Structure 1
Amino acid sequence: MNKMKLAVCLASILGTGAFMGHAMAADNLADFHSQNQECDSCHQPSGELSNDSLTYENKQCVSCHGSLKEVAEETKHEHYNAHDSHFPGDVACTSCHSAHQKSMVYCDSCHSFDFNMPYAKKWERHEPSIAELAKDKSERQAALASRPRDTVDVVVVGSGGAGFSAAVSAHDNGAKVILIEKEPVIGGNAKLAAGGMNAAWTEQQKAKSIEDSPELMFKDTMKGGRDINDPKLVEILSSHSKASVDWMTNMGADLNDVGRMGGASVNRSHRPTGGAGVGAHVVQVLYDNTLKRNIDLRMNTRGIEILKEGNKVTGILVKGMYTGYYWIKADAVVLATGGFAKNNERVSKLDPKLKGFVSTNQPGAVGDGIDVAQNAGAATRDLEYIQAHPTLSVKGGVMVTEAVRGNGAILVNREGKRFVNEITTRDKASAAILQQTGKSAFLLFDDSVRKSLSKINQYIGLGVAPSASSLVKLGEEQGIDGKVLTETVARYNEFVKNGKDSDFERPNLPRTLNEGHYYVIEVTPGVHHTMGGVMIDTKAEIVDAKKQVIPGLYGAGEVTGGVHGANRLGGNAISDIITFGRLAGEQAAKYSKEH
């Protein structure tokens, strides 16, 4: 935080030396500020909130306390800094800090660190389901009886990679667009993705002499999905993947690092130079391009009901957190709302063995979009196929990208032994980990792996990757048999030198583990991706049970089913959301022009 700004602010609020007494007397931020400030220090002169994004109110926070970057400079901790966020976009102060009620740290929705925020309460979340909101009959009827608040060509629901891709694509194809997001932050699950973006026969691969083809990517994806994928959708994913990388690159993305994820025959997982996380980077690029195009982006705004005349879309009913119900007239609606992996009640009904599992997902991934689509007549498929990510850090709830294994890390158990091909598909890796003592395992790597993937430095910085100068010492500190661990690593290193893993037939052996310090991250599976969702055709049009198109309704990303079959390959999600988001936006804009 800018110390001069803070000093001026605190002096104006409290007077010299009064901060602690007043802070203890207050119960929330509004109480604290009101002791020496008027309401118009935060609010507009009218007293009304500016909009659902709280644009004006957040500007007042920044004017006093400084930007998020400035605040981060003064709020450093040993292992984390909540203000040094990995989130893309412009994170609003009100995402965590509330005024007239207790605050909740948004980070607590995923992580288990002690953030110690003033005037905070424990994270809790109960938003009414789409079905529960149907009880608001009088409010909804009043909103629908009024004139539409806005009229546009296309409304996109969801600000993840699919939503932003659809919005930018629709705009660039001549449509007037509104993009709505129910969370206070952008990015959906895409902002958490770290591994890469799969694409075949790209310029980046050619530069590294990597032989690949859309046909091979198609084959790998179908095999990974146990051949229940919709082959027509997989053909679009694989044949359009290069164009998706080119599209992102032309908008400013760095996708020059190419690695390998589980289930891939060759290196095709594209990410930023040095191996930084791909998801937040991609979302940031899309967000920047959304701002350049002046696309109307509304946070804290929930899509509630697709409005139709007959079977044809005419708009969408939304509910703003602060402005309440209103409707937007539109020719087309793109649902890009993500999956439901954060909704364990729904997950466990479909797959009982996942009952009680933690999730790697952001808190909004509860299945709203699927409910809204079904209410509009959409068919669904493959809902029972739910993927666990094998490497969720036991400490801190941090998802550890598959790229760590792809770049050379191995998995060992408490007995110090390897037990699986580390880059097998996620379902097999997860099942293998759950069979180990304590239902967890340790991701082991050395400084050579750390240097190959910059994302690893974040895990070390968060304190979830303890290290030691020797395997024996590391084993003693982490409860792993150090003697056996030393033998295991020596055996693995021989496999690397010989180019063949005789124990588990791991296909890629990028490096020996014998450089510098050793590191381990204790990991266990977490519910990660829902393969099923609403049914779409090859134009990203949502269809009904008779496979008839619902005119004007489109879907992209994890809200849809059919692309990934029974199991998604790592790196295919980013490719999916960009490819089908772009396609949905293009088709929605085209439909709007024609109707």
Structure 2
Amino acid sequence: MKTLSRLTLCAVLTLTSCSVAFSAGMSDVSGKALYQTGKKADYLAGYHGKALGADCAVCHPSQSVSDSEREIDANCQKCHGTYQQLGQKDKSNGKSISAHQGHLSISSCTTCHKGHEESFAYCNNCHIFNMPMKFGRAKVPYAPEDLSFYRNAIPNREETADIVIVGGGGAGMVAAIELQKAGKKVVLLEKMPILGGSSLLATGGMNVVGSKPQKDSGVKDDVDTFVKDSLHLGKGKNDQDLIRILGTNSNDAYEWFESLGGQLELQKGKTGGTTNPRQLYTKSGGIGRYMVEMIEPALVKSGADVRVNSKVVRLVHDKAGQVTGVIVKGKNSGLYQINAKAVILATGSYANNGALVAKYNPQFEGIITTAQPGSHGDGIALASEVGAQVNHLERVQIHPNAAAGTTIMITQAIRNNGGILVNRSGKRFVDDQAARNKLGPEIL
């Protein structure tokens, strides 16, 4: 009962303290005074109050703050301009590195800029840029959280939906679009402040069997070859039925992307482990960013209820074990429950959870990851808690190309187009086009 009481109290205190602060701010007395002196005077709210004489309403259109904080973003952009406009301004001012021209296309100001706490450059969760920020520090790590802490958590409210999708990467976004088309009431939940997940970081290409670019180039390919290649790479331990589904539906997936206005070209050479050229790519660089930039507007247009800064901490189930909803920890709204007819987990990997990497594959303990900051394996933990069967967790893939001492990945296309791997003596030591499960051990 102590745990229950503490969790419930936390949720209530979070909401109450916010309300008090905003109410005071609207009265134009204690709210402003709170950020005039001491450490809080160094935050953005203090600067707006002291230097500009602004009250809380300048940033906050109402006394409550949504978890996605889009209403605050809108007010930021009224004064400062959009993400794209700020990027152009940085370029005009001669900045070689601009946080407003990054490959993540962050459209939310509050992703980096915080009004009531230290700000931080989201880019530096992966990079090591010298990117000083006003009112901030360089990096705030997104650490994995033990979700068992919420096992007995009591939500402060409930709502309903047809489908809840957990994870706002490529898979979750596409699922939300299609389910909305099917007439379902969909809520998409993403714990990070931006959409895209690991998809945003994809820099290589999309393997497609029987695509128009393949046919136009005279490449003969088929699903059986796709399956054979995949089984060879997986040393026969992968699920052959799932591989066949992936290969069979790959061209439909690409044509779906084309229907959004996307267009990819065939990589001329064979990519690691493939019999035939089948990887499609974009000349703009960064296929993941390109695809997300096409998919996200379609998601918005679909009418799905999309919420970032919204972390699912528990799956709700009935006595029979049927999953009936989720418990969400909203950044500003606290703990709440969504009851649903179905829950889709699209949460991705655990590649940025060092403890799990070391647990399932000890040889990689302490290795630097190029994964996105939120890849903590939350979906695995959530599903396991309600009895889901979990397979192949020991199959950790190591990407062979990363800039030494950083978390920056260098795309495989470098090797496809003539790049070579050498050791510290400058000597080649491995087939540059070998599969990753051969290259990784050879490099180690």
Contact 1:110 1:360 in 2 (8 A): yes
TM-score by length of 1: 0.65
Is 1:386 matched up with 2:396? Answer: yes
Find the partner of 1:347 among 349, 357, 360: 357
2:210 maps to what in 1? 201
C-alpha distance in 1 between matches for 2:321 and 2:300:
33
Contact 1:257 1:275 in 2 (8 A): no
Is 1:356 matched up with 2:366? Answer: yes
Contact 2:186 2:305 in 1 (8 A): yes
**Relative to 1, partners in 2 of residues 1:227 and 1:127: Cα closer, same or farther, differing over 3 Å?**
closer
Contact 1:112 1:395 in 2 (8 A): no
Find the partner of 1:399 among 387, 398, 409: 409
Find the partner of 1:48 among 64, 67, 91: 64
Structure with the larger strand share = 1
The letter of the residue matching 1:215 is: D
Find the partner of 2:343 among 333, 338, 343: 333
1:495-526 residue CA offsets vs partner (Å, 9 max, x unmatched): xxxxxxxxxxxxxxxxxxxxxxxxxxxxxxxx
2:81 maps to what in 1? 66
Is 1:160 matched up with 2:169? Answer: yes
1:465-523 residue CA offsets vs partner (Å, 9 max, x unmatched): xxxxxxxxxxxxxxxxxxxxxxxxxxxxxxxxxxxxxxxxxxxxxxxxxxxxxxxxxxx
**Relative to 1, partners in 2 of residues 1:257 and 1:314: Cα closer, same or farther, differing over 3 Å?**
same
Report SS of the residue matched to 1:74. helix
Report SS of the residue matched to 1:327. strand
Contact 1:52 1:321 in 2 (8 A): yes
2:129 maps to what in 1? 113
C-alpha distance in 2 between matches for 1:195 and 1:417:
26
2:154 maps to what in 1? 141
2:287 maps to what in 1? 278
Find the partner of 1:87 among 99, 104, 107: 104
C-alpha distance in 2 between matches for 1:80 and 1:221:
39
1:45-66 residue CA offsets vs partner (Å, 9 max, x unmatched): x4321x1000111111111111
Greater mean deviation of Cα atoms: 114-123 or 182-191: 114-123
Find the partner of 2:146 among 103, 119, 129: 129
C-alpha distance in 1 between matches for 2:432 and 2:99:
32
1:366-415 residue CA offsets vs partner (Å, 9 max, x unmatched): 01111111112101111111011111112653211101111221122332
1:562-593 residue CA offsets vs partner (Å, 9 max, x unmatched): xxxxxxxxxxxxxxxxxxxxxxxxxxxxxxxx
Please list, as runs of the form range in 1=range in 2, the aligned pairs for 1:496-575 lying within 5 A after superposition. none
TM-superposed CA distance for 1:142, in Å, is 4.4
Contact 1:191 1:280 in 2 (8 A): yes
Contact 1:303 1:318 in 2 (8 A): yes
C-alpha distance in 2 between matches for 1:176 and 1:30:
37
Greater mean deviation of Cα atoms: 229-238 or 278-287: 278-287
Please list, as runs of the form range in 1=range in 2, the aligned pairs for 1:251-290 lying within 5 A after superposition. 251-259=260-268, 260-272=270-282, 274=283, 276-290=285-299
1:336-387 residue CA offsets vs partner (Å, 9 max, x unmatched): 0011000001111111121111111111100111111111210111111101
Is 1:220 matched up with 2:229? Answer: yes
C-alpha distance in 1 between matches for 2:377 and 2:404:
25
**Relative to 1, partners in 2 of residues 1:25 and 1:243: Cα closer, same or farther, differing over 3 Å?**
closer
C-alpha distance in 1 between matches for 2:96 and 2:369:
22
Please list, as runs of the form range in 1=range in 2, the aligned pairs for 1:294-309 lying within 5 A after superposition. 294-309=303-318
1:540 maps to what in 2? none
The letter of the residue matching 1:204 is: P
Report SS of the residue matched to 2:327. strand
Report SS of the residue matched to 1:410. coil
C-alpha distance in 2 between matches for 1:290 and 1:400:
29
The letter of the residue matching 2:47 is: F
Report SS of the residue matched to 2:402. strand
Contact 2:266 2:278 in 1 (8 A): no
Contact 2:144 2:376 in 1 (8 A): no
Report SS of the residue matched to 2:324. strand
Gap runs ≥5 in structure 2: 1-36
TM-superposed CA distance for 1:421, in Å, is 1.1
TM-score by length of 2: 0.86
Gap runs ≥5 in structure 1: 1-21, 435-595
**Relative to 1, partners in 2 of residues 1:247 and 1:313: Cα closer, same or farther, differing over 3 Å?**
same
C-alpha distance in 1 between matches for 2:40 and 2:327:
42
TM-superposed CA distance for 1:133, in Å, is 3.1
1:423 maps to what in 2? 433
1:433-471 residue CA offsets vs partner (Å, 9 max, x unmatched): 23xxxxxxxxxxxxxxxxxxxxxxxxxxxxxxxxxxxxx
The letter of the residue matching 2:104 is: F
Q: Percent identity?
A: 35
Find the partner of 2:54 among 37, 57, 75: 37
1:311 maps to what in 2? 321
C-alpha distance in 1 between matches for 2:149 and 2:372:
21
Report SS of the residue matched to 1:285. helix
C-alpha distance in 2 between matches for 1:352 and 1:293:
44
2:241 maps to what in 1? 232
Count residues with an aligned counterpart: 400
Contact 2:166 2:346 in 1 (8 A): yes
1:143-176 residue CA offsets vs partner (Å, 9 max, x unmatched): 3xx4x22x22111111111111111122222322
The letter of the residue matching 1:315 is: G
C-alpha distance in 2 between matches for 1:359 and 1:415:
25
Contact 2:43 2:118 in 1 (8 A): yes
1:214-263 residue CA offsets vs partner (Å, 9 max, x unmatched): 11111101110111011111110111111111111112221223343211
Contact 1:113 1:396 in 2 (8 A): no
Report SS of the residue matched to 2:42. coil
**Relative to 1, partners in 2 of residues 1:275 and 1:432: Cα closer, same or farther, differing over 3 Å?**
farther
